[in-house]
Amino acid sequence: MRLTVAQALVRFLSRQRTERDGVERRLVQGCLGIFGHGNVAGIGQALASEGAGTGSALPYYLARNEQAMVHTAVGYARQANRLSAFACTSSIGPGATNMVTGAALATINRLPVLLLPGDIFATRVASPVLQELEDPRSYDASVNDCLKPVSRFWDRINRPEQLPSALLAAMRVLTDPADTGAVTLALPQDVQAEAYDWPEELFAERVWHIGRPVPEPAALARAVRAIERSRRPLIVAGGGVRYSEAWEGLRAFAERYGVPVGETQAGKGALPHDHPLAVGAVGHTGTAAADALAREADLVIGIGTRYSDFTTASRTLFGAADAFVNVNVAAFDAYKHAAVPVVADARAAIEALEEALRGRWRADDDWTERATRLAGDWRDVVAGAYAGEALTQPVVLGIVNEAALAAAGGSVVVNAAGSMPGDLHKLWRAPDPEAYHVEYGYSCMGYEIAGGLGVKLAAPEREVFVLVGDGSYLMMAQEIATAVQEGVKLTIVLVDNQGFASIGNLSESVGARRLGTAYRLRGGSGDLDGDRLPVDLAANAASLGADVLRATDPGSLRAALAKAVEATRTTVVYVETVPGAAPDSGAWWDVPVAEEGVPEIRERYEEAKRAQRPYL
């Protein structure tokens, strides 16, 4: 069949499907993009000729920024529990390098996205072309090489014959639960347009089976022995619980054996927030309940977690643990902290462990009861933090949380960077396991609105509440225009505290005097300490096509949210907050302090550092 490389690529992508637990879906739901001379004649022409409208071979979505479109793709893939993904097409040069941050975010969070950057002519006859990086040491270099270290699979299609095997490898990585992330196929602009006689079978419908690898019996037996020795176990539920949809099994296991469940950012919602054994967030942004238990647990059962420094409080939290048992589909994570590794799908492994332990073991009753009591105490703390008349951030989150719990078709809260992720982790009552979406692997400012758009594309029945700080908003708000274009309705709560509350507090704590963390005019002293910036973010949101409501107190915030939920158009609720911290557990985070200039802070830092354990 004679087609161009780009036409063959588009046709191939439109025919790939995934299957898990007997349910089939389209693997590549659509293609986000921005055209330039590096992709318009190839991929652009192919999408136009194959049909790019909704419901066609590969629906095309025009985005506003290439980094943002990767965030949208990632938001989609995460909400779809990695069972389906998006492709992203860019031109060469800046369009391609704009995707590097999105690619890093995808790979760090282990979320599949297919990147199709244009590349310089393979023939090189017209070099240097517009936007080409010339490397005097090698004609083989292009800016797309920047995508190599942040991709799980990377290839450049210099000849049509290379396409079929590259496509098969790309689909394998997109659907591999252990080894997924950004997949990059760099497409030289001349090769995209080149015709070739393809074998018909390249375009056959293919189903990619997403497996549930079962634990090896001997590994399972070792894990059972480690668990049987424990009296005070704690489960740390991570994103793997979510992607494997292991919630039912997790609940059954926790209840049968009396094991409390703490949650990472990616795992939040693993148990219903009001379950007696749901002790909530664990780690630096953890609840007093989960972190007290984490400090005393003799065994940590990590399920689908990569143990980031936030989860382990920079390796100071699990101070009494004699052992770790790690269930993870990725061996890399399963082996962390010298654990007893169980390399398997979370659901399959939890079910196997549940069965193997029957009648043989249960956590100490005192421990289970204590966990239940601490979880109840924390629920009271949350109720207290949510109450109040001043619009502190916890009060704002409480009011948004009320609206989310009441949303008829369900809800998702979306956030990524600033001071809100920590507050959300500790406080948010997630109504179901797919209702919490905080990107905290890369914690990338600017993910919120773009990612929220992807979430809504994956879960149109749910009310999507995007929480975005003023700093993040100023970095990347333009996808509001894309949401308006697509008729995709988001409720965006824009929380303005005139700068970086998070980094401002951190700055003060490390002796950096909050330098450069407040949005202020340059003042008479020469510092950024003058008047408030004359910037109107609500007007900005309106200019991008959103409906905008301003809230000034709890009553008007409730009313604005009710209106936003009723609305069919993307609505921005603008709210200014006053300072007011959320309660915390005191768990540490390792951020180095200057060894000269701030002796008292440095001394406290060195003291805290002494609690750090390698967990070996």
Q: Does 611 bind ligand TPP (CB under 6 A)?
A: no
Q: Closest approach of Cβ 419 to ligand TPP, in Å?
A: 3
Q: Which of 50, 351, 463, 470 binds Mg ion (CB under 5 A)?
A: 470
Q: Does 443 bind ligand TPP (CB under 6 A)?
A: yes
Q: Report 493-522 residues binding ligand TPP (CB under 6 A).
A: 497, 500-503
Residue whose C-alpha is closest to residue 385's, from 341, 436, 325, 428: 428
Q: Closest approach of Cβ 418 to Mg ion, in Å?
A: 6
Region near Mg ion per CB under 5 A, out of 151-159, 237-245, 471-479, 482-490: 471-479
Q: Which of 189, 415, 472, 571 binds ligand TPP (CB under 6 A)?
A: 472
Residue whose C-alpha is closest to residue 69's, from 93, 36, 96: 96
How many other C-beta atoms are found inside a 10 Å radius of the C-beta of residue 366?
10
Q: Does 413 bind ligand TPP (CB under 6 A)?
A: no
Judged by beta carbon, residue 144 or residue 502, the one nearer ligand TPP is 502
What DSSP string runs through 326-386? EEESSHHHHTGGG-EEEES-HHHHHHHHHHHTTTT----HHHHHHHHHHHHHHHHHHHHHH
Are 493 and 400 contacting, i.e. CB atoms less than 8 angstroms apart? yes
Token pair 């409501």 in the structure block, residue? 549
Are 467 and 405 contacting, i.e. CB atoms less than 8 angstroms apart? no
Per-residue burial over 303-342, b if 16 or more Cβ lie within 10 Å, else e, is: bbbbbbebbbbbbbbbeebebbbbbbbbeebbebbebbbb
Q: Closest approach of Cβ 472 to Mg ion, in Å?
A: 8
Residue whose C-alpha is closest to residue 17's, from 251, 207, 240: 207
Judged by beta carbon, residue 451 or residue 471, the one nearer Mg ion is 471
Q: Which of 72, 497, 570, 571 binds Mg ion (CB under 5 A)?
A: 497
Judged by beta carbon, residue 175 or residue 393, the one nearer Mg ion is 393
Q: Closest approach of Cβ 519 to ligand TPP, in Å?
A: 8
Judged by beta carbon, residue 153 or residue 473, the one nearer Mg ion is 473
d(CA 274, CA 296): 23
How many other C-beta atoms are found inside a 10 Å radius of the C-beta of residue 133?
15
Judged by beta carbon, residue 177 or residue 446, the one nearer ligand TPP is 446
Q: Closest approach of Cβ 425 to ligand TPP, in Å?
A: 13
Are 586 and 422 contacting, i.e. CB atoms less than 8 angstroms apart? no
Q: Report 187-246 residues binding ligand TPP (CB under 6 A).
A: none
Q: Does 469 bind ligand TPP (CB under 6 A)?
A: yes
Choose the contact partner of 443 out of Mg ion, ligand TPP, none; CB within 5 to 8 A by kind: ligand TPP
Judged by beta carbon, residue 502 or residue 571, the one nearer Mg ion is 502
d(CA 250, CA 303): 9
By CB atoms closer than 10 A (0-12, 13-18, 19+), residue 211 is middle
Judged by beta carbon, residue 49 or residue 505, the one nearer Mg ion is 505
Q: Closest approach of Cβ 233 to ligand TPP, in Å?
A: 34
Region near ligand TPP per CB under 6 A, out of 57-65, 250-258, 359-367, 444-452: 444-452
Judged by beta carbon, residue 100 or residue 223, the one nearer ligand TPP is 100
d(CA 351, CA 512): 50
Choose the contact partner of 445 out of ligand TPP, Mg ion, none; CB within 5 to 8 A by kind: ligand TPP
What are the strands of the beta sheet with 113-119, ordered from one edge? 60-62, 28-33, 85-90, 113-119, 182-188, 153-156
Judged by beta carbon, residue 459 or residue 476, the one nearer ligand TPP is 476
Q: Which of 59, 177, 452, 469 binds Mg ion (CB under 5 A)?
A: 469
Per-residue burial over 428-458, b if 16 or more Cβ lie within 10 Å, else e, is: bbbbebbbbbbbbbbbbbbbbbbbbbbbbbb
Q: Does 422 bind ligand TPP (CB under 6 A)?
A: no
Interface with ligand TPP (CB under 6 A): 417-420, 443-446, 469-472, 497, 500-503
Interface with Mg ion (CB under 5 A): 469-471, 497
